[in-house]
């Protein structure tokens, strides 16, 4: 797995708009996945996990209220094989980001 920062809307949407993932990260007032446009600006950092050149996982790190949030999403068919590896690879980025933040939280869903 290659882990790298991404600003590719297509890659970001490939993960966040996956029906299983989109259903868990949105509520009834959210647009349909086909209309969703992820924010790409200085408040958001996207780290993609790539296998054979295809994105299979995404970490979204963003400002929220008085702190920051971190979300990790792995495509359902790749969770068993890659979820823990992706999470551990992202710890490097979180340690680096810690220097710029006072606190952060990681919510990891058990598979």
What structural domains and CATH numbers belong to the chain?
Answer: 2-107 (3.40.630.30)
The percent of residues above 90 in pLDDT, for the chain, comes to: 54
Check residue 96 and give its pLDDT: 62
pLDDT digits (tens, 9 = 90+) for 39-89: 999 889 999 999 999 999 999 988 788 777 888 999 999 999 998 888 877
Model pLDDT, residue 86: 86
Containing 45, the helix (H) or strand (E) segment is strand 44-51
Residues 6+ apart with CB under 8 A from 76: 18, 20, 21
């Amino acid at each position: 797995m290659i882990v790298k920062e991404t600003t590719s809307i297509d890659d970001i949407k490939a993960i966040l708009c996956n029906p299983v993932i989109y259903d868990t990260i949105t509520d009834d007032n959210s647009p349909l996945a086909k209309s969703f446009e992820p924010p790409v600006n200085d408040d958001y950092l996207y780290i993609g996990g790539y296998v054979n050149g295809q994105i299979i996982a995404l970490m979204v790190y963003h400002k929220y209220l008085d702190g920051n949030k971190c979300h990790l999403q792995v495509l359902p068919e790749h969770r068993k094989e890659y979820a823990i590896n992706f999470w551990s690879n992202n710890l490097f980025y979180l340690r680096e980001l810690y220097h710029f933040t006072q606190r952060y939280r990681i919510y990891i869903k058990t598979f």
